[in-house]
Structure 1
Amino acid sequence: MVSIRQKLVSANQAAKVTNGKNNAKKYIVVHETDNTSAGADADAHARLQLNGNSRDASWHWQVDDHEAIQSFEHYWECWGAGTYQGNAQGIQVEICVNSDGDFKKAVENAASLIAKILKDENIAIQNVVQHHYFSGKNCPRNIRAGQITWTNFLQMITSMETPKPEKPPTESMKYRIVTGTYSTRNAALSVLDIMQKRFGWVAYIEQEGTKYRVKTGTFTGLTAAKSADNKIKTAKLAQVTYIIEA
C-alpha cells in the first residue's frame, strides 16, 4: 500500500480554485503533471497548491514514487478535468513525472491509491478515466503513449488489495481475581455483597487461616480480567488483588 498523507489547502484558498463542495465523486480522473523537472515530486506539487497556485488549476491528489499526498478533500470540485462535468463529478489524481523519480513506481503507487479511493467512495472501476476522456487533452501523456498501457494500469488497480482492519486476537483463557486478605469475615462479606449485587459477578469467600479472601468467578480473556480488576480497585474494595489463571 502506498504511503499516504495530507497537506490540505485551507478552505479560503480552496474557494478560489474550485467550484465549491458539491463534488458528486462519480469518477476518478487520472492525470500526469507534465513537469519533468528534478524535484517536481508529490511534495513539491502539494506545496504549490498549499501556498496558492498561480494557475487556475487544482487537483485532489499528487502521487510520486514514494507517496501520495492529498491537497483537497474529495467533496471539493477541483479544476482539473477541463470541463464542468469532469470537475463536478471527478476526483483528480496527478501522477508525477519528475526526471529524478521512478515513473513506473509512481504509476504503481497511483494504482494503489486509486484502489483505496474506489473502495472508500464506492466508485466502479469503469469510472476510472483519463483526463482525455473529458477534455480531449493528451493526458496522461506517458500512459497514453504506451509506457505503461491504460489496460495494464486498470489491471494494476483491480489487482491491488486494500488492507483489511486486523481483528483483535480472540482471548480464550479464563482468569479469576483474588483479593488480599481481610481480618474478619464480615469485611470479606461486605466486599462479596458488592461484587454479587452491584457488579453482578459470581464470587465467594475463601478462608486462609484466621483471615479471609474474596475470589471471583471466571473472566474470559486477560482484557476482561484486567477491566474487572480495575473496577475492584476503583471501588476501593481491596488494596491488593491478583489475577490468576482459572
Structure 2
Amino acid sequence: MVVTRKKLVPDVQANKVSYGKGNAKKYIVVHETDNTRSGADADAHARLQYNGNSRSASWHYTVDDKEAVQSFEHAWRCWAAGSNKGNNEGIQVEICVNADGNYLKAVQNTAELVAKILKDEGIPISNVVQHNHCSGKNCPSQMRAGKVSWSQFITMVKNASGNTQQHKPSADTSKYRVLTGTYATKQAAENVLDVLKHRFGWVAYIEPDGAKWRVKTGTFTGIDAAKLGASKIETAKLAQVTNIVAE
C-alpha cells in the first residue's frame, strides 16, 4: 500500500504551466522522470513544481519507492503527454528513476496509485497508457526497455488493492534546520547549494564559518523530517557530516 500526500501547486503557478481545469479524465498516462541523479525523488519533483518549474511542464503525481506526491488535482489539464488529447484527457503519473531509489518498488507503488485512480475516476484499465501512446516519445524509457515490462506493470495494476494510505502530518511541530560540515571554498558550498535548491527543491543558504563555508537548509517541521533531510544530503554525498539544529 503506497503512502500518498498532497503538495498542491498554488493556482497562480498552476495556470502558468497547464491548460487550466476541465480535464476529461479518460486516461491515466504513465511517464518516467528520466532523472537518475541521487536525490531526485518524489519529494524533490513535487517541490520543483510547487516552487515554480522553470520548464513548461506539469504533471499530477510523482511516485518513488517511498511515497506518491500529488501536485495537481485531477481536474487540471497538465502539460506532460505531448499531445492535446493526452494533456486534456489524461491524469499524468511520473515514476522516479533516481539512482539512490528502488525502481521496482517505485513501479509497484505506481501500480497501487493507478489502481486507486481507476477506482476513484471510473477509468477502464484499457485506458492506462504510456506517454509513448500519446506522442511517440520513448517514455517510460526504462519500462519500455524491459526493466519491468508494460504487461507486467498492467498485471501489477490488476492485482493491486486500489487502497492507499494518506500521509498523516507529524504531531511534532517544532522547527529544525540541517547544517552541513564546512567547505574550504565558497564555490564548493555553492555547488552543494545548487543541488539542494534545484535538484531537491529546498530552501537553503550559504553562511561563513571562519575562513570556511557551510550550507544551511530552510526549516523542516518535526525531527523526523529533519533526519530524512540530513540523510538525503549524506546519501547524495554532498556532505560527510550534517548537524540538525532546533530553531
Structure 2 contact 60–74 (Cα < 8 Å) conserved: yes
Find the aligned partners of 1:154 and 1:84 in 2 and give their Cα distance: 24
TM-fit CA distance, 1:162:
2.6
TM-score, with length taken from structure 2: 0.66
Structure 2 contact 81–131 (Cα < 8 Å) conserved: yes
- Alignment pair present for 1:97 and 2:97: yes
CA RMSD of aligned residues (A): 0.9
Q: Which residue of 2 aligns with 1:7?
A: 7
Q: Which residue of 1 aligns with 2:81?
A: 81
Identify which of structures 1 and 2 has the higher relative contact order when contacts are C-alpha pairs closer than 8 Å and 6+ apart.
2
Find the aligned partners of 1:2 and 1:69 in 2 and give their Cα distance: 10
Find the aligned partners of 2:41 and 2:8 in 1 and give their Cα distance: 16
The letter of the residue matching 2:65 is D
Q: Deviations over 1:85-131 (max 9, x none)?
A: 10000000000000000000000000000000000000000000000
Q: Which residue of 2 aligns with 1:61?
A: 61
Question: Any stretches of 5+ residues in structure 1 without a counterpart?
Answer: 165-246
Find the aligned partners of 1:96 and 1:10 in 2 and give their Cα distance: 23
Q: Which residue of 2 aligns with 1:134?
A: 134
Q: In percent, how many aligned pairs have the same letter?
A: 65
Report the 3-state secondary structure (helix = DSSP H, G, I; strand = E; otherwise coil) of the residue aligned with 1:80: coil
Q: Which residue of 1 aligns with 2:27?
A: 27
Q: Which residue of 1 aligns with 2:110?
A: 110
Find the aligned partners of 2:70 and 2:42 in 1 and give their Cα distance: 9
Q: Which residue of 2 aligns with 1:46?
A: 46
Find the aligned partners of 1:34 and 1:103 in 2 and give their Cα distance: 12
TM-fit CA distance, 1:59:
0.2
Q: Which residue of 1 aligns with 2:162?
A: 162
Q: Deviations over 1:12-62 (max 9, x none)?
A: 100000001010000000000000000000000000000000000000000
The letter of the residue matching 2:158 is T
TM-fit CA distance, 1:161:
1.2
Report the 3-state secondary structure (helix = DSSP H, G, I; strand = E; otherwise coil) of the residue aligned with 2:110: helix
TM-fit CA distance, 1:163:
3.9
Q: Which residue of 1 aligns with 2:149?
A: 149
Larger Rg: 1
- Alignment pair present for 1:119 and 2:119: yes
- Flag as ranges the 4+ runs of structure 1 deviating above 4 A: none
The letter of the residue matching 1:103 is Y
Find the aligned partners of 1:127 and 1:161 in 2 and give their Cα distance: 18
Q: Which residue of 1 aligns with 2:177?
A: none
Q: Deviations over 1:174-227 (max 9, x none)?
A: xxxxxxxxxxxxxxxxxxxxxxxxxxxxxxxxxxxxxxxxxxxxxxxxxxxxxx
TM-fit CA distance, 1:149:
0.4
Structure 2 contact 77–89 (Cα < 8 Å) conserved: yes
Find the aligned partners of 2:146 and 2:30 in 1 and give their Cα distance: 15
Report the 3-state secondary structure (helix = DSSP H, G, I; strand = E; otherwise coil) of the residue aligned with 2:132: helix
